[in-house]
């Protein structure tokens, strides 16, 4: 099994995906262990002094003015975890919780948190054992970080609350730890606070969304090309010299992908209208511009994610000169903004894909295709209601594109009076990504059927490869009406698994 080594300088997106989705094992580097020990010495020295230090010998948030006596500090750390583990609603997905825990471990290992090495090792042991704390949908305002979700994870570290075992069964966390030979942690000064104060949940979901959207954007370029081909559109608008004079990188990449897919097609530029078309509709002609803008948004979001992956997000933090300083680095605004940007871009990509699907089904705009791509229109409804489903998904995507980060709601007796809502932005983006995959799958389903109905004209070799692959995946071709949901589900699975890209690239070479 792949092993991810956590040091002091952050982790990569591929590390997060390996741990969250593939169950990679985690090891702490010697450098990280040494940094943990050094920072802990600073915290313990400060804890021994009579002067109050926030997070070490004081209360938290609006209660930060109270000095806590040494005999109550362990209780304080337990209490902050217990009281902050106040989430409600459905359980969050296993991959999200694993990403959340791993990214908190990343910050702990930076040497800026003052957590003991044995606490960090226990975090790694829990992940390696396949134990997943039960985290709930609601409870984070994205500032001070993802407090409630992280608190539920810290509760498992203490052997309390509920967790899911590697078998998927939810049991008391203490039982699961004992079954895997893991001793619960007794938290000391600052450690409870250090386990809760981070943007780890929203960042983990950003990293996973970026990975999924990268595949979906390539797939959408392919389905757009298939729709152009099925509509007998022109590929001249994809010429590189046209995109060079408006040099947005994403636009050029999408146009190049579409052009590569259409190479060798006998369908493009043929017209079955009374008069030849001078131009294709915007949903066809402007596909690279819309998908390209989304690709550039992805690039910006990836830059933010990379910076955050290299960050130590905690409050207070231990600095190399021995100071323990309060700060606002836990605020989720940088991550929240790009999560919202991505939801907007995804909604627009879904919207333009739906417009192409509708055009394929409309006999007045499809240039010779049968109504709704039906076998016997009137007796058969064809893909009429598949487009309804796609339209419903697009409508929800538009609602999900309303930014969460533009909202703020005060908390903690107005001490935390401006929050990021980054967790909410991340949760709705996950839904948007799932919906986008379904929308692309429906366009794929319609476009492949439409191409097969163009008798006498040979589609591009890349198109033929996609059609063969999607049929092999159990998605049926043209014919009389049948139970449609299984076909759409199979197309969805095919798209999510990267089947579109896998089918095309042996013909086109790697897509941009």
**Catalytic annotation, residues:** 54
Question: How many residues would you count in the chain?
Answer: 512
Phi, psi of 195, rounded to the nearest 5 degrees: -80, -10
Please give the C-alpha separations between residue 76 and each of 70, 73, 431, in angstroms, as whole numbers: 10, 5, 37
Is 206 in contact with 338 (CB distance < 8 Å)?
Answer: yes
Selection from 63, 60, 52 nearest residue 330 by Cα:
60
- Rounded to whole angstroms, the maximal C-alpha distance in the chain is 91
Cross-strand pairs, 132: 164
Q: Which two tokens stand for residue 152?
A: 């539920």
Distance CA 207, CA 303 (A): 11
Between CA 407 and CA 240 the distance in angstroms is 41
Q: How far is it, in rounded angstroms, from Cα 412 to Cα 384?
A: 52
Cα separation, 120 vs 128, whole angstroms: 12
| Distance in angstroms between the alpha carbons of the first and the last residue of the chain | 30
What is the per-residue DSSP string for 236-281?
Answer: GGG-HHHHHTS--HHHHHHHHHHHHHHTT-SSTT---SSS--SS--
Tokens representing 40 are 């802990």
Those residues whose C-beta lies under 8 Å from the C-beta of residue 60, and which sit 6 or more positions away, are 80, 193
CA angle 283, 285, 290 (to 5 degrees): 60
- What are residue 71's phi and psi, to 5 degrees? -70, -15
Compute the distance between CA of residue 28 and CA of residue 451 in angstroms, rounded to an integer. Answer: 54
Cα 165 to Cα 130: distance, rounded to the nearest angstrom: 6
98: three-class secondary structure by DSSP: helix
């Amino acid at each position: 099994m792949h092993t991810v080594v956590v040091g002091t300088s952050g982790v990569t997106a591929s590390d997060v995906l390996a741990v969250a989705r593939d169950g990679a094992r985690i090891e702490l580097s010697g450098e990280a262990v040494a940094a943990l020990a050094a920072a802990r010495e600073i915290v313990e020295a400060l804890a021994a002094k009579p002067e109050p230090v926030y997070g070490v010998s004081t209360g938290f948030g609006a209660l930060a003015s109270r000095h806590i006596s040494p005999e109550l500090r362990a209780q304080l750390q337990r209490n902050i975890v217990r009281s902050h583990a106040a989430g409600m609603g459905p359980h969050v997905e296993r991959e999200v919780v694993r990403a959340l825990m791993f990214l908190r471990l990343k910050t702990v290992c930076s040497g800026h948190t003052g957590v003991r090495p044995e606490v960090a090792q226990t975090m790694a042991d829990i992940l390696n054992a396949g134990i997943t704390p039960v985290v709930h949908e609601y409870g984070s305002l994205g500032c001070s970080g993802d407090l409630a979700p992280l608190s539920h994870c810290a509760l498992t570290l203490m052997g309390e609350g509920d967790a899911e075992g590697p078998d998927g069964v939810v049991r008391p966390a203490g039982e699961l730890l004992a079954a895997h030979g893991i001793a619960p942690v007794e938290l000391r000064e600052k450690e409870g606070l250090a386990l809760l104060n981070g943007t780890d949940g929203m960042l983990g979901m950003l990293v996973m969304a970026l990975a999924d959207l990268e595949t979906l954007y390539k797939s959408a370029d392919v389905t757009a090309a298939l729709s152009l081909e099925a509509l007998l559109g022109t590929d001249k608008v994809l010429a590189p010299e046209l995109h060079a004079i408006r040099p947005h990188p994403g636009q050029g990449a999408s146009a190049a992908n579409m052009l590569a897919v259409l190479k060798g097609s006998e369908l493009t530029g043929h017209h079955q209208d009374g008069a030849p078309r001078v131009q294709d509709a915007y949903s066809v002609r402007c596909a690279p511009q819309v998908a390209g803008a989304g690709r550039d948004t992805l690039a910006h979001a990836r830059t933010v994610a990379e910076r955050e992956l290299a960050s130590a997000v905690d409050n207070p933090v231990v600095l190399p000169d021995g100071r323990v300083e309060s700060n606002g680095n836990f605020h989720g605004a940088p991550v929240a903004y790009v999560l919202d940007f991505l939801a907007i871009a995804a909604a627009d990509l879904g919207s333009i894909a739906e417009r192409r699907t509708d055009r394929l089904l409309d006999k007045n705009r499809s240039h010779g295709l049968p109504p709704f791509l039906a076998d016997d229109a009137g007796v058969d409804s064809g893909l009429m209601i598949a487009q309804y489903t796609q339209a419903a998904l697009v409508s929800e995507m538009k609602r999900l594109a309303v930014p969460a980060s533009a909202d703020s709601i005060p908390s903690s007796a107005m001490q935390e009076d401006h929050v990021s809502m980054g967790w909410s932005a991340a949760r709705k983006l996950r839904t948007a990504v799932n919906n986008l995959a379904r929308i692309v799958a429906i366009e794929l389903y319609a476009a492949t059927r439409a191409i097969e109905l163009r008798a006498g004209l040979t589609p591009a070799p890349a198109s033929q490869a996609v059609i063969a692959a999607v049929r092999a995946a159990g998605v049926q071709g043209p014919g009389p009406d049948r139970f449609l949901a299984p076909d759409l589900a199979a197309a969805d699975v095919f798209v999510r698994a990267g089947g579109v890209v896998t089918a095309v690239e042996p013909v086109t070479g790697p897509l941009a």
